[in-house]
Amino acid sequence: MNNSIMHNKTIADIIAGLDAGEFTSVEITQHYLKRIQQLDSTYNSYITINEASALAQAEAADKRRAEGNAPAFCGVPIAHKDIFCTNGVRTSCGSKMLDNFVPPYDATVVENFARAGAVILGKTNMDEFAMGSSNETSFYGPVKNPWDTNTVPGGSSGGSATAVAAHLAPGATATDTGGSIRQPAALCGITGLKPTYGRVSRWGMIAFASSLDQGGPMAHTAEDCALMLNIMAGFDPKDSTSIDRDVPDYTENLNQSLEGLKVGVPKEYFDEGLNPGTEKAVRDALAELEKQGATLVSISLPHSKLAVPAYYVIAPAEASANLSRFDGSRYGYRCEDPKDLRDMYMRTRGEGFGDEVKRRILVGAYCLSAGYYDAYYRKAQQARRLIKQDFVDAFETVDVIMGPTAPSPAFEFGAKGKDPVAMYLEDIYTIATNLAGLPGMSVPCGFVDNKPVGLQIIGNYFDESQMLNVAHQFQQTTDWHKQAPEGIEIGGAE
């Protein structure tokens, strides 16, 4: 086989290759590490590269496979978003505040992949504390979109999305609080899945907004996302919000026919803010699904317009408390030579946090303040309940809901930097699912000016299997997910 393009493989291909003995985990791990060394200076998708430990893990995986009792995923290299705590490996969350932070524990997601024998190539770049939709807020510099390095990869999981899109990892973990898996997946032309809230443990995943954060996979295909989700999902007694419910094999239903599937198409997701090229790609994708036997049902999610304002009260409110622990007293950044306690607090947080993080802490603290709580936080919670009810009502009549993931394709660096609200509108179609706690996916469905467009699939609670089935079937008759950016040699679409 041609080892120079081993990186064209999906996770499913890698598992098959390892099973068949076509190559070893050490070989494919070395291949990815070499690519990262050669190419990532262009993309900046990794914050930390685990060269030595990845090779050790790969050797151990090969040994385990040779012994014959290895789990399927054993030896597959992936990357973790730098929001997941990794025992003994710096976990920065994209912030100066945690530039020196080495956790003494693994996130449950990290532990699950370790148990499955996965090889961790490194930790991927991200918006600081997952706050951003363009990966421009990272302390480690912006990530470049492989499809056009003048444009952003989306955020906050821009590093994971780019690592996958540039074939610097076959899959990567990510997190989604308001669209942070789906929007960068869309902008980078890959597949990403945000599970139902409570499906994946949040233990060891540095909190942005606890009631919205959810970890999930990013990869090239729905099948790969299913393989990763099999490892990530499950009840965790260390996370009180994780849900004790059986985890199905997410690959089991991938091949079911879409005949009779009812697809809800919310009119609110095709409004005037939507880029016409994006709309056309999404409409074409819906037509493709119709061809496969799905029925499109026009629906309304009447409280959609409340989603962005409600989110930008609730998420900052929770963040303002979640980020209080970064005070310089126990770990992380501490300002030089503090004069007294107040000085230590003020300069540590003033110097350690970037502007967007500070903006959200201020907004959150304001919304929770005496005299404002009812007008903002309580109102936002009411809006949240209405938004959730919209979906509950819609799922009475449809199986999945579809629309665009992001309102437009990737934009240029700095394009929305001066206007936070314009940036916040990037998540206009993704935020509602976080508020409702529903699972959502983004699947590549076309291009506008050679920039990828994502189709969003929203599933019912704990119905990740159905979402994956739809996405997989779509990928059987389309090849948007097989396209590679210019300059990324993958040996042509199969």
Partner 1 sequence: MEWETVIGLEVHAQLATKSKIFSGASTTFGAEPNTQACAIDLGMPGTLPVPNEQAFRYAIMFGLAIDAEIAKTSVFDRKNYFYPDLPKGYQTTQLDKPIVGPGHVEIELADGSKKSIRIHHAHLEEDAGKSLHEASFEINGHGMSGIDLNRAGTPLVEIVSEPDMSNSEEAVAFAKKLHGIVTSLGICDGEMSQGSMRFDVNISVRRPGEELGTRTETKNLNSFRFMEDAIALEVERQIDLIEDGGRVIQETRLYNGDTKQARSMRSKEEANDYRYFPCPDLLPVVFDDDYIESIRKDLPELPDTRHDRFVEQYGLSSYDANILSGDASMAQYFETAAKASGDTKLTANWMIGELSARLNAADLSIKHSPLSAEQLAGMIARITDGTISSKMAKQVFDGLWNGDGDADSIIEAKGLKQVSDSGAIEALVDEVIANSDKQVDNFRNADESKRPKMLGYFVGQIMKASKGQANPQQVNEILLKKLNDLL
How far is residue 413's CA from residue 415's CA, in Å, rounded to a whole number? Answer: 5
Among 98, 116, 225, 443, binds partner 1 (CB under 8 A): 98
Give the span between the Cα atoms of 426 and 281, in whole angstroms.
17
Is residue 320 a contact residue for partner 1 (CB under 8 A)?
yes
Nearer to partner 1 by C-beta: 204 or 446?
204
Size of the site for partner 1 (CB under 8 A): 47
Q: For this structure, is 300 an active site residue?
A: no
| Segment interacting with partner 1 (CB under 8 A) among 175-183, 231-239, 395-403, 429-437 | 231-239
d(CA 150, CA 410): 9
For position 280 contacting partner 1 by CB under 8 A, the verdict is no
- Is there binding between residue 329 and partner 1 (CB under 8 A)? yes
Contact 211, 435 (CB under 8 A): no
Residue 104, C-beta contacts closer than 8 angstroms, at least 6 positions apart = 87, 88
The interface with partner 1 within residues 352-371 (CB under 8 A) comprises 365, 368-370
Kindly state whether residue 341 participates in binding partner 1, applying the rule CB under 8 A: yes
What is the spatial order of strands in the sheet that 119-124 belongs to?
Answer: 46-49, 119-124, 77-81, 171-176, 214-219, 191-194, 440-448, 451-458, 400-404, 262-266, 295-299
Convert residues 422-441 into a mask of x (bound to partner 1 by CB under 8 A) and - (unbound).
--------------------
| Catalytic pick among 138, 156, 157, 320 | 156
User: Looking at beta carbons only, is 302 or 309 nearer to partner 1?
Assistant: 309
Q: Mask 118-157, x = binds partner 1 (CB under 8 A)?
A: ----------------------------------------
- For residue 70 the two structure tokens come to 């290895």
Nearer to partner 1, 197 or 250 (CB): 197
Cβ contact 47:79 at 8 Å: no
Stretch binding partner 1 (CB under 8 A), from 163-171, 184-192, 320-328, 426-434 = 320-328
**Cα Rg, the chain, nearest whole Å:** 21
Q: Which of 180, 201, 320, 465 is catalytic?
A: 180
Query: Is 215 in contact with 94 (CB distance < 8 Å)?
Result: no
Classify the C-alpha dihedral 98-210-247-167 as positive or negative. Answer: negative
239 binding partner 1? (CB under 8 A): yes
> Considering the complex, what minimum distance in angstroms separates the CB of residue 197 from partner 1?
10
Q: Which of 30, 45, 56 is nearest to 81 (CA)?
A: 45
Residue 480 is a binding residue for partner 1 (CB under 8 A): no
Nearer to partner 1, 84 or 353 (CB): 84
Active site residue 41: no
CB count, 10 Å around CB of 428? 24
Based on the shown chain and the rule CB under 8 A, indicate whether residue 327 belongs to the binding site for partner 1.
yes
Residue 479's nearest CA partner among 468, 492, 466 is 492
Pick from 331, 413, 424, 447 the residue near partner 1 by CB under 8 A: 331
Nearer to partner 1, 187 or 209 (CB): 209
Q: Does 392 bind partner 1 (CB under 8 A)?
A: no
Rule CB under 8 A: choose which of 318, 399, 426, 427 binds partner 1: 318
Instruction: Confirm or reject binding of residue 452 to partner 1 (CB under 8 A).
Output: no
Q: Cβ neighbours of residue 468 under 8 Å, at least 6 residues apart?
A: 193, 222, 223, 225, 226, 229, 250, 253, 254, 441
Cis peptide before 45 (omega within 30 of 0): no
Residue 205 is a binding residue for partner 1 (CB under 8 A): yes
Residue 85 in contact with partner 1, rule: CB under 8 A:
yes
The answer to whether the beta carbons of residues 182 and 156 sit under 8 Å apart is: no
Minimum distance from residue 204 beta carbon to partner 1 (Å):
4
Phi and psi dihedrals of 384, rounded to 5?
A: -60, -40
Interaction of residue 91 with partner 1, rule CB under 8 A: yes
Q: Is 487 in the site for partner 1 (CB under 8 A)?
A: no
Span near partner 1 by CB under 8 A; candidates 50-58, 165-173, 267-275, 334-342? 334-342
Q: Of the two residues 30 and 86, which places its CB atom closer to partner 1 in the complex?
A: 86
Contact between 403 and partner 1 per CB under 8 A: no
User: Which range of residues in 9-17, 146-154, 313-321, 403-411 is near partner 1 by CB under 8 A?
Assistant: 313-321
Taking CB under 8 A as the criterion, the residue among 206, 357, 401, 484 binding partner 1 is 206
Whether 53 is a known active-site residue: answer no
Is residue 1 a contact residue for partner 1 (CB under 8 A)? no
Mind telling me the catalytic residues?
81, 156, 180
For partner 1, the binding residues (CB under 8 A) are 84-85, 91, 93, 98, 101, 103-105, 107, 202-207, 209-211, 237-241, 317-318, 320-321, 323-327, 329-332, 337, 339, 341, 345, 365, 368-370, 373, 377
